[in-house]
Amino acid sequence: MDKDIIKMQREALETLKYIAKILPEKHIQYALAEGRVALEKQIQKQIYVCNYGKAHCPVCNTDIHGVGKINFCFSCGQKLDWYRI
């Protein structure tokens, strides 16, 4: 992924966090929090591999089958990074 895109995503996350703190309406805070969570899932996170060779999602710890073939965790939707294994 392009470094500029990752930087923009992180800046958008920080903006959402700030806005969620200053707005008093609960439904708006909830919507912003959900948007932040969805955006965070789009930022790749490195999977981890246990000693016995099984890959796991870095967010929900679900077993990942099809090593290197899937881009998102089927359980939580986190975007996966296979390139730094």
- 13: helix, strand or coil: helix
**What local confidence, expressed as pLDDT, does residue 50 receive?**
75
> Is 3 a residue whose pLDDT tops 80?
no
8-55 tens-digit pLDDT:
777 877 887 787 777 767 777 777 788 888 888 888 888 888 767 788
- C-alpha span between 16 and 25 (Å, rounded): 14
> Rounded to two decimals, what is the model's pTM?
0.62
Handedness of CA 50, 52, 57, 63 (dihedral sign): negative
Find tokens 């990942």 and name the residue.
64
- C-alpha span between 72 and 76 (Å, rounded): 8
**What local confidence, expressed as pLDDT, does residue 84 receive?**
63
